[in-house]
Structure 1
Amino acid sequence: MFDILLYLFENIVNDSAEVWIDNDELSSELQTAGFHDDDIYKALMWLEDLAELQSNDIIPFIAGQTSVSTRVYTLEESIKLDTQSQGFLLFLEQINLLDVATREMVIDRVMELEENGILLEDLKWVVLMVLFNVPGKELAFEQMENLVFDEPDGTLH
């Protein structure tokens, strides 16, 4: 399922196409690309749920939180998001790329992935997908995109 999400995201961003196009057309394109129907359905539901998070009742509650909140991860979240990933999310909050609401959206979307654990590189893509889909987060998306694509090679001195 994550491969489908990456495929969609890379094609949507690279082609500057509309995010929400006809599901039948999209499913057909994904089948042609070699993805299985079950995985296609799960990926489309994942994206649909991401869109619904923006109107979820929890967002106004979270949005009222101060920027000095501490996130305590559940056991399930800690299994899926290791210490490095949790630290990365904290870092993104500290540099104001994520706020409390978008952090929670990222965690929600990670928890819906079928993988037992998520690699840091995959987490970065989930953050990109969330920021891409949240109105008003265009600058944060661009900055996150730079973090993902402009990583220096080798050792920093």
Structure 2
Amino acid sequence: MFEVLVYVYENYWQGDACPELQQLGRKLTAVGFEAEEIQAALVWLDGLNLAAQGTQICLPPAEPQGLSHSLATSQDVQAQSLGSLRVYSVTEQEHLGAETLGFVSFLESSGVLPPHMREIVIDRAMAAPGDPVTLDDLKIIVLMVYWSFGQEPDALVLDELCDDTAQRLAH
């Protein structure tokens, strides 16, 4: 499935250029991916599309006294405050593993993964195969979440997501 997602990211790097899922499935078949991989990727992408469409940030005009911004969803929900903490369920901890949760925490504390995108990353990682999800697979998921919002991560984040860290030499 992840090979299909990488292909989609590389060939339709502007999310709005990606064809509808049924047409995308035909194109992926023509490229030579296996039907089972294509189906898993299309189901996963459909979930990503639903999550991205359901999460829209509406930033109100600048408010005095630094009040938090609201999140525009089906309910009126407040955005995460600076002092809040994301607690992962046992199921999430087991499926994601310590390494991937540490990487999500790193991205979030670096300011490159806002809470609404983090939640989509966690949701899509929970829908991904693997127990636990590998760090390389999580990096693909993060790229796909950025892609679904029509955003490209900055160069340093992109380097961290795409670089093979196994070949790095510590100084």
Match of 2:105 among 84, 90, 104: 90
Indicate yes or no: 2:19 matched with 1:21. Answer: yes
Residues 57 and 17 of structure 1: CA distance in aligned 2, closer, same or farther (over 3 Å): closer
CA radius of gyration, larger in: 2
Partner of 1:53: 51
Contact 1:6 1:125 in 2 (8 A): yes
Q: What do residues 56-108 of structure 1 show as CA deviations (whole Å, max 9, x unaligned)?
A: 27972676111332222112211221111111111101111101111100000
Match of residue 133 from structure 1? 148
Identity among equivalent pairs (%): 31
TM-score of the two chains, using structure 2 as the length reference: 0.74
Q: Hey, which of these two has a bigger chunk of helix by percent? A: 1
Q: Which moved further from structure 2: 1-10 or 62-71? A: 62-71
Superposition CA RMSD, Å = 2.7
Preserved CA contact (<8 Å) 1:4 1:39: yes
Which has the higher mean CA deviation after the structures are superposed, 57-66 or 81-90? Answer: 57-66
TM-score by length of 1: 0.80
Q: Which runs of 5+ in 2 are unaligned?
A: 58-70
Higher strand share: 2
Change (3 A) 1:29 1:55: closer
Q: Look up the equivalent residue of 2:169 and give its one-letter code.
A: T
